[in-house]
Chains A and B, each alone.
Chain A
Amino acid sequence: MTFHPRERRIAGGIDRRAFLRQSAFTAAAVAAGPSLLAACAGDDAAGGGGQAVPLSRPDNPVTLPTFDDIPMIADGLEPESGPLKIFNYAEYIAPQTLRGFRRQYGVDVDVTTFTSMDEAIARLSGGQAPFDLFFPTTDVIAKAALGRLLQPLNASYLGNSGNVWTQLQDPFYDVGAQYTRPYSLFTTGIGYRVDRVTQTPDEYDNPYDILWDPAYSGDLYLLEDDREVLGMAMLRAGEVDVNTEDAALVDAALADIQALDDAVNPRIGVEAYTILPEGRATIHQAWSGDVVNAQYYLPEGESIENVGFWYPAEGGGMIGSDQMSVLVGAANPVLAHLFIDYLLDVDNAHTNFEWLGYQPPQTSIEPASVVADGLVPAHLDTTVIRPEDFDNGYQLLQLSLAGERLWDNAWSTFSAGA
């Protein structure tokens, strides 16, 4: 299980700006690209009949099943009277956005939060979830659809879908965009203190090597996420299948990370957005949004110029996104659709982005304009995500249960300090 940037093991009242953290695995790339991602069609062991969950990959698009007893809503219905119930991470939608929707449709909006996707799925699958709109990560969509948690979307309510990047309009993880619309994007790179590194990652032969540099011993953080860390080791070694279930590859990545541990004694955490600006570490494997948010956590006298972010400009880095879906049994499905459409609107998405820091996959938002609008300092334009990044990047996607066990065990070995 990977973490979403907003996840914390313990319910964490994350600060208003703190959501940027985790990039969910949702990979929104329909990357044709040089992807060696194998098409593992679910071979989940675990006894207990039932279909296996299809594992979508960029070169193995999956059409999620629909069920006769879960129809999409009819066209042209009137919006309900609400209140609209949203099930989401804490502080993941701008208050201005919620207010705007309330004013436009004259309904109340309630947000119930969860702290981890696991918890959310457990709650939804347990049936105690009277919500309308849900924000899943890419890796749980197949499970949720197969597990009859989601209802198919009626595109007639979602006119703004065209505002989204083309790669995401008919994504491989949800062919035909039956159940989802994309919400936000994030990449995983290396955050660092410009004033404290002797060389920036770019200046190394292999930029990832900065994480293995003994000069930063005791001064470095890795993300608390098995897929992100081991996946990063794979990317460093040139192995691009970050969703592999090949034990040899995972073991090799583990060995690399253990070498990193020996060289650098890293700490594990997910608070790059405070650790970097406060200078509690010099290097931190970080999500793009963390670094954008760092500018709001600067201590007195500190400048954002001192925080840098590296992401492979020519592509080939880790990337991900979040989705929006309507739940089965929603009491206000029309409102839910309208809210999705509201978030896909150009102006609303922009306003949301300003507060959230997570970049929405809107074609209208370009890296140059993001810097020009002052949302991101110029030297941090590496945090802005471009459509090509999806084509060239690698996403962390769902694994079979056996695969997850493999990665879990590898992480357990590493975190045991073995």
Chain B
Amino acid sequence: MTRLRTWWSNPWRRPAFLATGYWLYVIWSLVPVLIAVQFAFNSGRSRSTWQGFSLRWWFEDPDRSLWHDPSLREAMLNSLWLAFFTMLIATPLGVALALGLARWRGRTARASNLLMLIPLAMPEIVMGTMLFLVFDNLYTAIPLGRPAMLLGHVTFSVSYVVILVRGRLLTIGPDLEDAAQDLGASPIAAIRTVLLPLLGPAIFASLMIVFATSIDDFVISAFLSADASSQTIPIKIYSTVRVAPTPALNALATVMLLFTLLAVGLAVLALRVFRRGEKGSAVEDFATLDL
């Protein structure tokens, strides 16, 4: 009993309850996904009753498997195409915007900052509606489907890049840049040679985040898609799960999961390399948000 009391009143003990709570949360959060992955290998049609292991939904089934169903492959290609190009466009835009906003002063600066923040808190349905109506009525030169979806993805991704990069900018501080300029570098050169390399981890993290959020996006993609040829993986999952869901759907989702894990894994590895010698862990770069 005394041991219990000592343990309880020790201010520096490991927190057993919190730890348990944490692990329960992780299990609750991730295990269902693992189960969904498991069912991608189900031999029967059910997604809730295990009927044995099989690769049927991946390669073997001649009609409905991932390999043979062209619409599933098309969805994957669309998702990857969008994610890739969104990444390429949104990251430079966002990095430049972050740099600009961090140093810019004045009322316009504050307004621009606000403008950048709003998409983060805006429900996707509002964003999707806005974009759909404007592509439908004003920017009619841009067809719905992949072009419109790309523009929409970039729009909501830019803000993520900005807040990620800004967090890192704050940590870096202006000293190094000032030093470079004192030594004779022009501001642009200072940015290029000093800041950008230091921002490397954040930029890389942004690339990965943009890639992942673009792959994951559902609402905006759905609102801006044109027809079956511009479906992405989430749209395909949504429309099929209510219709005739088979474990091929689980397989599709698993493939997507693998892509995103790959992207994130690469990010973490690269961050470790970039940040050699720095304190903290690479993963924390994802978490340094500056709202």
Do A and B truly interact? yes
Please list the residues of chain A having a beta carbon within 8 angstroms of any beta carbon in chain B. Answer: 8, 10-16, 18, 90, 112-115, 119, 122, 126, 128, 269, 271, 274, 297, 299-300
Which residues from B are CB-within-8-Å of A119?
Answer: 226-227
Partner of A13, one of B44, B239, B242: B239
Q: How many A-B residue pairs have CB under 8 A?
A: 60
Residue pair B136, A113 in contact (C-beta under 8 Å): no
**Inter-chain contacts of A11 with B (CB < 8 A):** 222, 225-228, 230-231, 235, 239
Complex Cα distance A12/B226, Å?
11
CA–CA, A326 to B239, complex, Å?
A: 30
Which of these, A115, A297, A299, contacts B227 with CB under 8 Å?
A115
CB pair A8–B239 under 8 Å, yes or no, is yes
Q: Are B228 and A274 in contact (CB under 8 A)?
A: no
Q: Which residue of chain A is the closest to B69 with respect to CB atoms?
A: A13
Lowest 7 CB-CB distances: which A-B pairs, in order?
A12-B239, A13-B71, A274-B244, A10-B239, A10-B222, A11-B231, A271-B243
Beyond the given A12-B228, A300-B44, could you list 20 further A-B residue pairs with CB under 8 A, ordered by the A residue number? A10-B222, A10-B235, A11-B227, A12-B239, A13-B72, A13-B75, A13-B228, A13-B231, A13-B239, A14-B243, A15-B64, A18-B243, A18-B244, A90-B227, A113-B227, A114-B227, A122-B136, A128-B143, A271-B243, A271-B244
Chain B residues lying within 8 Å of A113, measured Cβ to Cβ, are 227-229
B193 within 8 A of A: no
A-B contact pairs, 12 of them (CB 8 A): A10-B222, A10-B239, A11-B222, A11-B231, A12-B243, A13-B75, A13-B239, A18-B244, A113-B228, A113-B229, A119-B227, A271-B244
Q: Which residues of B contact A (CB under 8 A)?
A: 44-46, 63-64, 71-72, 75, 136, 140, 143, 222, 225-231, 235-236, 238-240, 242-244
Q: Establish whether residues A12 and B240, one from each chain, have CB atoms under 8 Å apart when the complex forms.
A: yes
User: Complex Cα distance A196/B193, Å?
Assistant: 74
Inter-subunit contact A299/B45 (CB<8 Å): yes
- Minimum CB distance partner of B244 in chain A: A274
Report chain B residues within 8 Å CB of A126.
Answer: 140
Measured CA separation A241–B45 after assembly (Å): 44
Please name the residue on chain A nearest to B74 by beta carbon.
A13
Q: A119-B227, A299-B45 are in contact. Are A13 and B143 (CB under 8 A)?
A: no
Closest Cβ–Cβ distance, residue B167 to chain A (whole Å):
35
Q: B209 → chain A, closest Cβ, in Å?
A: 25
Q: Is the CB of B136 within 8 A of A271?
A: no
What is the distance, in angstroms, from B162's C-beta to the closest C-beta of chain A? Answer: 30
Contacts of B235 in A (CB 8 A): 10-11
A274 to B246, CA, bound (A): 11
Instruction: Decide if A271 touches B242 in the complex (CB within 8 Å).
Output: yes
- Knowing A11-B225, A128-B143 touch, does A300 contact B243 (C-beta < 8 A)? no
